[in-house]
Amino acid sequence: MFNNKSILITGGTGSFGNEFVKKIIKKYKKIKKLIIFSRDELKQHEMSKIFSEDKYKFIRYFLGDIRDRERLFSALNGVDYVVHAAALKQVPRAEYNPFEYIKTNILGAQNLVEGCIEKKIKKVVALSTDKAAAPINLYGATKLCSDKLFIAANNIKGFGGSNFSVVRYGNVLGSRGSLVDVLKKNKNKNFFQITDNEMTRFNITLEESVKHVLWSFQNSPGGDILVPKLKSYKVLDLINAYNPNFKLKEIGIRPGEKIHEEMITESDSFNTLELKNYFVILPNTFSENKILTTKKYYKKNFKAKSVKKGFKYNSGNNPDFLTKKELKLFFN
């Protein structure tokens, strides 16, 4: 679907952006233009060493910030598809810098929505996080608001306008700042602090995250939140898989943390469908017709079924957990 088309990815120099670009240039040989939009010139320079504009003539590195409406609108000229990966993400930092997170994660999302509608972008897929489900920290709250903006964009775009969808998933093990990254940086120490021995998290690889975004581009009718079925892991098991000899100190959960991360809350169950490899949270809209149309689409094309009332999907009640043997593979 991307051959002879132009794609823009916000936050394109991050872990996801690098993996997305690698996948796209391998799978699609006739891309018209691939725009890497980010505010970090050093990351753009480093990324250009891997994906050079000399070798890949269709790649453009566009320095800019989604907070800058004028610059963002300029980058969207002639674009067909947008992946929104730009965000401020560190939970503790958000509590001390709330206005900055609001400017990027909410107002930046608004800029992108309005820009995509004005520039008549065909389809937009925004990345979300498990922390956006029943958020207890400011980062999660900003991402929930961002999700709502992209879903609501389908109500304000006008007939036949842009298509907006959201993909929500969990922690990307191995990405910058992940627990795997932190453990490797502490390899020479004989002790490690753990917040809670019962803590669990969802797991997803960078390659899988790109696969789910591409699935949404190809299949989502718009207005829905796609939640992939993922494996969970116990944080304690991950630490022991890396170094079973660590002396562990339990320090208690940090502000804004949960013991188990959620992807679908009990309140979402009334409007959630289950597919073979995904859950789909239907559009949150006053239009009953839009909800019924989306539900009919997924039931017809993917044999989707409604989940039971009261259903919830979190990393603790997930029936599928990574084994210690599987966890060791992340450190190879």
pLDDT, tens digit, 9 for 90 and up, residues 229-275? 999 999 999 999 998 888 998 999 888 889 999 999 999 999 999 99
Mean pLDDT in residue range 58-79: 98
Residue 224's alpha-carbon distances to 44, 180, 280, in angstroms, are: 32, 31, 7
Exposure class string for 126-150: b at 16+ Cβ within 10 A, else e: bbbbbbbbbbebbbbbbbbbbbebb
Within the chain, residue ranges assigned H as helices are: 15-27, 41-50, 69-75, 91-96, 98-101, 108-118, 138-156, 179-185, 206-219, 235-242, 288-302, 324-328
Listed by start position, the domains of the chain span 87-170+202-230+262-315
Supply 126's token pair.
């925004």
pLDDT digits (tens, 9 = 90+) for 179-231: 888 888 888 888 898 989 999 999 999 999 999 999 999 999 999 999 999 99
Please tell me the distance from the alpha carbon of residue 14 to that of residue 20, in angstroms, as a whole number: 10
Q: Which of 11-20, 172-181, 288-297 has the lowest mean pLDDT?
A: 172-181
pLDDT band at 155 (very low <50, low <70, confident <90, very high): confident
Exposure class string for 4-25: b at 16+ Cβ within 10 A, else e: ebbbbbbbbbbbbbbbbbebbb
pLDDT band at 158 (very low <50, low <70, confident <90, very high): confident
Give the predicted TM-score (pTM) of the model: 0.93
Catalytic residues: 131
pLDDT for position 159: 67
pLDDT for position 227: 98
Instruction: Give the dihedral sign, CA 296/302/308/314.
Output: negative
Homologous superfamily of 87-170+202-230+262-315 in CATH? NAD(P)-binding Rossmann-like Domain (3.40.50.720)
pLDDT band at 291 (very low <50, low <70, confident <90, very high): confident
pLDDT band at 135 (very low <50, low <70, confident <90, very high): very high
Please tell me the distance from the alpha carbon of residue 98 to that of residue 137, in angstroms, as a whole number: 10
pLDDT digits (tens, 9 = 90+) for 2-13: 999 999 999 999
